[in-house]
Structure 1
Amino acid sequence: MLGIVGGVLGAVVALVVVLVLIGRAAVGGFPEAEYRLTLPKTLADGRYALAQDLSDTQGRQIEDEADGAWDAKDLRAVVGQYNIGGDNSTGVLLLSGMYGRFKNTHQMRVHMLHGATQADGVTLLRGPKDFPKDGEPTIGCEVLKQEKLGASIVYPVCAWGDGNTGAAIAVTDEDSMTQDASDVDLASYAEFTRQVRSDTVEPIG
């Protein structure tokens, strides 16, 4: 499981780089910087605990590769790995994202999800599918299969993009080695992603 988790992390980090490097022409100016993305010690009512803050390593790589992007300003990357009870085999949540001032929020989400499918050893099994909600950013979700070290794992990836933050999360658990893509409840993971967004996005100042 640990080797597979490492591969999944690489895929999630890679997809966020696509966030600002691919896009379409934007209209209008940049939004004001009002919110930032954080890595709190716990997520989802304490279910997941922060195991590693990777913002200074993988996050710095994202910032370097996205430097000079025309549709993002004041960009800062945030990458974290969470688990359940200190045990990766029980459950892992990987979050990779950025905050700043962004145009093309729809394309942010689309390209994050597309980028996830381009990582080595990854196959798209379902989706992507959008889950809109009045007054909140649309959440997009898909189901991927990652093959690494002679094993495979099936897991959902969900993403959002708004004027100040964009992130993707991948969730694995003890059923991920054997679950069928049709059994993954994407609507439920979209709502879970909204909770993660609420936990991680906070006002600046």
Structure 2
Amino acid sequence: MSMPPVPQSPNQTPLYPWGVPPGPPEKSRVGLMAAIIGGVFLLIVALLATLILVGKKIDSSYPRAESTLTAPGTLLDGHYKLAKDDSPTLGPPLEKSWRLSWDAKAVHGVVVAYHPSGGDQGELIVTGMYGRFRNSAGVRSRVLAGNGSQHTEVKVIVPTMDVTPSGSRIKVSCEEVTRSWADGKTLSYPVCAWADGNTWARVAYMTVYTARSLDFEAAARITLQIRSEMVKPIR
């Protein structure tokens, strides 16, 4: 004999199998999923917009590219002539070492050697880059041996000094180093560097004349003359 159904009052919660009420209607599930997907999409859009704004802000902090570093056939009013342009081979490794720097952007390496036209021994070596640079003081410091040269054959014997030649607003950093070769020869010579918003270069005066006679003041003035002959506006 079957049991009669238990009467329920209008306010009594119905008894469901296993004590679990049924899930929401299908339309409610679809709406919930749409809301979740929409929220995720809006979050992604917000993150992308933030990254774009940050990227634009960082890019605007670099100077505009207005100048380039060239390798003319002669330097210092013809007293030095171009002997070798190693930019195609030594430039890319130099660029690679600067690509992750927060102070450099869109960089191109230049490595050239000049020989004295008058027959003096030695050479003048210019290693530099053009692109977009911030923090010129930090860049100058980075490219000199006193900041920790990886070349064990080069040692600093006179620490770095900042020099601003009279009549110029451009600061030059100079130091004196000594270099040794495998055959036992050594040479002490000045090295100077400039850095601006678009270019930097390190000039090694590895000639007999400059190694014996150049002081930092004179080396800084010559460095700025080299800068005036190598840095050209982008056309």
Q: TM-score of the superposition, structure 1-length normalised?
A: 0.77
What's 1:186 paired with?
A: 216
Partner of 1:169: 203
Alpha-carbon contact 1:37-1:200 (below 8 Å) kept: yes
1:143 corresponds in structure 2 to 176
Q: Distance in 2 between matches of 1:33 and 1:62?
A: 19
5+ residue gaps in structure 2? 1-57
Identity across matched positions, percent: 37
Q: Does 1 or 2 have the higher relative contact order (CA < 8 Å, sep 6+)?
A: 1
Distance 1:80 1:121, change over 3 A: same
1:204 to 2:208 alignment: no
What is the CA distance between 1:120 and its match in structure 2?
1.4
Relative to 1, partners in 2 of residues 1:33 and 1:176: Cα closer, same or farther, differing over 3 Å? closer
Contact 2:173 / 2:194 at 8 angstroms: preserved in 1? yes
Q: Choose the corresponding residue for 1:106, options 107, 130, 137.
A: 137
Partners of 1:117 and 1:124 within 8 A in 2: no
Q: Which residue of 2 aligns with 1:11?
A: none
Which structure has the larger Rg over C-alpha atoms? 2
- Of residues 83, 91, 100 in structure 1, which corresponds to 2:122? 91
2:8 alignment partner in structure 1: none
Measured in 2, the distance between the counterparts of 1:86 and 1:61 equals 33
Q: Deviations over 1:71-121 (max 9, x none)?
A: 21111111101002396x623110000011111111001111234744212
Corresponding position: 1:127 with 2:162: no
- What do the CA deviations read for 1:122-174 (whole angstroms, capped 9, x no partner)? 22111211112565320011100001121111111000111110110001223
Contact 2:78 2:117 (C-alpha < 8 Å) held by counterparts: no
Runs of 5+ unmatched residues, structure 1: 1-25
> 1-side partners of 2:77 and 2:214: how far apart?
22
Structure 1 stretches of 4+ with a deviation exceeding 4 A read: 115-118
Equivalent residue number for residue 6 of structure 1: none
Residue type of the partner of 2:125?
Answer: L
Q: Quote the residue 2:79 is aligned against.
A: 47
| Letter paired with 1:123 | K
Bigger helix fraction:
2
Q: Counterpart amino acid of 1:202?
A: K
Aligned length: 174
1:156 aligns to what?
190
**Pair 198,71 (structure 1): closer, same or farther in 2 beyond 3 Å:** same
How big is the alpha-carbon RMSD for the aligned residues of Structure 1 and Structure 2? 2.2
Contact 2:68 2:234 in 1 (8 A): yes
